[in-house]
Amino acid sequence: MKYLIILLVFINLFAKDVIEKGYYCTLNWTKYTLTCKGESAENQSEFAAKRVAKFTAIRNMLERIKGVNITSKTTIKNLMQNDIVLSTVQGTIRGAKVIKMDYNPQTKKAMAYV
């Protein structure tokens, strides 16, 4: 039993993390962590840009966890085609913490990692 515990501790120390990377989110299956990024549009005040970046990152996290509902509608009138695509995500994220927040004063754009 003593050797089994030592073996498990040794394996745990030298095991590689299993990481699944997406465009907005990174999922670490070994540590059970999900990290997502969000960015704001340009030419916003620092407060607004940081707030938008944070909530965009949280929305990306929620999309990764719960999925996205997509509704689309195509109308043709006078030989003109109009496509309307709506995407919604609904849920609650509790305990999300901002890991890193960057703000670029030249472009007035922020990026947040949650």
* Per-residue pLDDT, 20: 85
> pLDDT below 70 — which residues of the chain?
12, 15, 78-79
Total domains, the chain: 1
* Per-residue pLDDT, 15: 66
Q: Is residue 28 part of a domain?
A: yes
pTM for this entry: 0.72
Q: Is residue 1 part of a domain?
A: no
Q: Is residue 2 part of a domain?
A: no
Structure tokens at 110: 């922020």
- Asked if 40 and 50 touch (Cβ cutoff 8 Å), the reply is yes
Which residue segment(s) compose the domain that 34 sits in? 18-113
